[in-house]
Amino acid sequence: MHKIVVLGAGYAGMAAAVNLAGRTRRRADVEITVVNATARFTERLRLHQAAAGQELADLRIADVLGDNGITLVYGWVTAVDAAARTVRIDDERVLHYDTLVYALGGVSDTGAVPGAADHAHTFDSAHDAEALARRLATLGTGTVAVCGGGLTGVEAAAEIAEAHPGLDVVLLGRAEPGVGLAPKAKAYVDAALARLGVRVRSGVEIVKVLPDSVVLDDDAVPADVVLWTSGVRVSPLAAEAGLAVDERGRVVTDESLRSVSHPDVYVVGDAAAVRQGYGTLTGTCQSGMPTGVHAAISIVRELEGKRPKAFRFGYLHCPVSLGRGDAVVQFTRPDNSPKRSHLTGRRAVWYKETVSAGGWASFGRMSRFPVLGTLGWRRGGRYTR
């Protein structure tokens, strides 16, 4: 029996698991186990909605994986022994594997700035976003500081400002909002934030988070609530297991997504430092799900005595919510640089909602028709979303 263990049931881990199940359905010599901390699937693309008080669907991992002959184990992974090929869970269970799919995604990097871990909310889970929503609901007036001017910060600031017009929302970051978008799309983001009353302070360095303020390099912003969206860190488990990692702790992979130091370990999603001709992939759903699909295809090829193929990925778009009734979608080149074309307004809202809903919906289809996991991601010879 060839034992495959998938660690993490986020977008990348789920894509790997359902494709593996579909492609090995007729094999009696393969056993698939998925380990995840919770029974609920986290729609990370929608956590800014949950923070604004919207109720998200209660999506259960077992509803998809349990119907495909996959063994589900709920618990926190506490250790990986790459030499012994074992995984330890927090209740002291030990799982043995022949092939490991490492899909433990990243969390907010609250350790980079003093006080952020103690005094700031994060989007690390649906529970965290819902806790922020409950806190915001208690405020009639006050200031919400969103730390991080990236797209997560932009979406959160817009959503909170729209849902709570009585609150003063300030977006703090080094870079200007939408800096990676084409000029017209960036101007649309700027106008939307201004319309919603979001105050933007870019070019600032956050040096400390206090219970009632965010301290900058040359100033302090009083804040009743702080949301931290600046930076992502990955679990140290991979480095502790002896896997080769980069300067950010991400596992370095070969062209087929195998660990360069332990080829029996495939690494997908945020945890992987996947290099392409234009650079290292950023950790997003857009790139994460294709890595899961490719890992599944490669594992099955190895089971059949074939060599796994190289992973090639090209970006397609950058969708950004600007509240419930507005959005912008920047279309991109494969290297993620912006094209001139983009969508705004209702068309962009429809497009963004289709993308957000598509991840979960695709898992059931991939398990029944795994070839869709390949066809749905192919464009110009590269995986895309």
pLDDT at res. 370: 64
Q: Domain boundaries in the chain? A: 2-108+232-315+357-383, 113-228
For 116-138, letters b (16+ CB in 10 Å) and e give beebbbbbbbbebbbebbeebee
pLDDT at res. 381: 40
Q: What angle do CA 43, 45, 47 make, to 5 degrees?
A: 75
Q: What angle do CA 325, 148, 114 make, to 5 degrees?
A: 145
Rounded to whole angstroms, the Cα distance separating 13 from 101 reads: 8
Pick the CATH number of 113-228 from 3.30.1340.30, 3.40.50.720, 3.50.50.60, 1.10.3720.10: 3.50.50.60
User: DSSP label at 258?
Assistant: B
Write the CATH number of the domain with boundaries 2-108+232-315+357-383: 3.50.50.60
Rounded to whole angstroms, the Cα distance separating 295 from 17 reads: 10
pLDDT at res. 372: 54
**2-108+232-315+357-383 and 113-228 have identical folds:** yes
Q: What angle do CA 362, 365, 367 make, to 5 degrees?
A: 110
Q: What pairing do the DSSP bridges indicate for beta strands 265-267 and 71-74?
A: unpaired
pLDDT, tens digit only, all 385 positions of the chain? 999 999 999 999 999 999 999 999 989 999 999 999 999 999 999 999 999 999 999 999 999 998 888 999 999 999 999 999 999 999 999 999 999 999 998 899 999 899 999 999 999 999 999 999 999 999 989 999 999 999 999 999 999 999 999 999 999 999 999 999 999 999 999 999 999 999 999 999 999 999 999 999 989 999 999 999 998 899 999 999 999 999 999 999 999 999 999 999 999 999 999 999 999 998 788 999 999 999 999 999 999 999 999 999 999 999 999 999 999 999 999 999 999 999 999 999 999 999 998 888 888 777 666 655 554 444 434 444 3
pLDDT at res. 369: 65
